[in-house]
Amino acid sequence: MALISIIIPVYNGGTAFKTCLQSLELYRPSTTSLSTEVIVVADGCTDGSDLLAEQFGATVLKTTSPGGPARARNIGAYQATGEILFFIDADVALHSTTIQQVADLFQAEPDLAAAIGSYDDEPGSLNFLSQYKNLFHHYTHQTSNEEASTFWGACGAIRRQVFQKVGGFDEHYTKPSIEDIELGYRLKDQGYSIRLCKSIYVKHLKRWEPLSLLRAEIFYRALPWTELLLSRKQASNDLNLKASTRFSVVLVFSLLLASGLSYWWHPGLFLAAGSLCCLMLINWPVYRFFWKKRGPIFTLKVLPWHWLYLFYSGASYVLGNLHFYAQKMNRRLKQAVSH
């Protein structure tokens, strides 16, 4: 029986997926004390990703049409034989110690149900937006609580028995969305522990462009995450939901409103300046991180993108609330009519 089952969902993975497989081939432990199996679920692939995975010796499971990473991960998990299910995305590359660290962690902590890692600070794609977004993800994980509040499908491991007991990923998410976050919430609700291991790294290879980033951030993450939080009636002070981030959202809207009002009401300039100063002060650790990693010019380019992120996060929260409560009211009206 394999000790660790490495499960990768892929839909037309391209060159990033080949790099992922190459890292697996290079860094899979060859010791007798640690055995692994690699399961690739080709989720309706049309670019030959399934054939590529077979060439690298992976067990390949195929679906006839894309159903999303949640379903693909479940398919792989229920075919796996390992005690530990280690999920990674098709656009990440492993470090030399990644798998061994996962194995050592679960062996050292028998009561640990799940663990997640972090992106490293050297993203694979070199364009500004990819560097910014993936470095920001790295920063978020490196400054978050080690007792994690959720799961992460890009680099997340879980005991197979626990995964089966909680029912796996929610397959209602048919796009790369918040299926891993939702699974993490269910794990915590049932009393399981999730560890954020900041020294377990994978390299993100994804190339972000403005439209692809905004579409993913708003429609596949922010909006469904808002509705998930509203349905649960609680939010943790961790990761992207830290109190400082929420206050920063308020400050961005205050800055925009005050700047607009200043055209008719000159004291609005002082309110705008105060909001800007507070925004810079609260997020100074973030900007200092980027300055240290990429220098002052890069950091100046980060500012408008970070403020845009805060803006669409806040706007998505408002829209998510409107949609959630509109649906709730619609259900009540239908129930009233049926009675």
Pairwise CA distance, residues 324 & 330, whole Å? 10
Contacts 24+ apart (CB under 8 A), 294-298: 294/131, 294/135, 298/128, 298/131, 298/132
The pLDDT averaged over each successive group of 10 residues in the chain (339 residues) is 88 97 92 87 97 97 97 97 97 97 95 97 96 96 93 97 97 95 96 97 97 95 91 62 85 89 80 92 97 97 96 91 81 70
**This prediction's pTM:** 0.91
Strand-strand pairing, 4-10 and 84-88: parallel
Q: What are the CA-CA distances from residue 155 to residues 6, 196, 281, 293 (Å)?
A: 10, 10, 32, 23
Place of tokens 């300039």: 269
Rounded to 10 degrees, the C-alpha dihedral 315/175/238/115 comes to -170
SS3 readout for 28-91 = CCCCCCCCEEEEEEEECCCCCHHHHHHHCCCEEEEECCCCCHHHHHHHHHHHCCCCEEEEECCC
Sign of the torsion formed by the C-alpha atoms of 133, 136, 142 and 148:
negative
150: left (phi over 0), alpha (psi -120 to 50) or beta: beta
Per this entry, what is the length of the chain? 339
47: left (phi over 0), alpha (psi -120 to 50) or beta: alpha
Q: Which domains does the chain have, with CATH numbers?
A: 4-208 (3.90.550.10), 239-338 (no CATH)
Pairwise CA distance, residues 290 & 287, whole Å? 5
Please classify residue 235 by burial: count the beta carbons closer than 10 Å to its beta carbon, then call 0-12 exposed, 13-18 middle and 19+ buried.
middle
Sheet holding 4-10, edge to edge: 59-63, 36-43, 4-10, 84-88, 155-159, 114-119, 194-204, 92-94
Residue 153 DSSP label:
T
| Residue among 5, 10, 78, 86 nearest 42 (CA) | 10
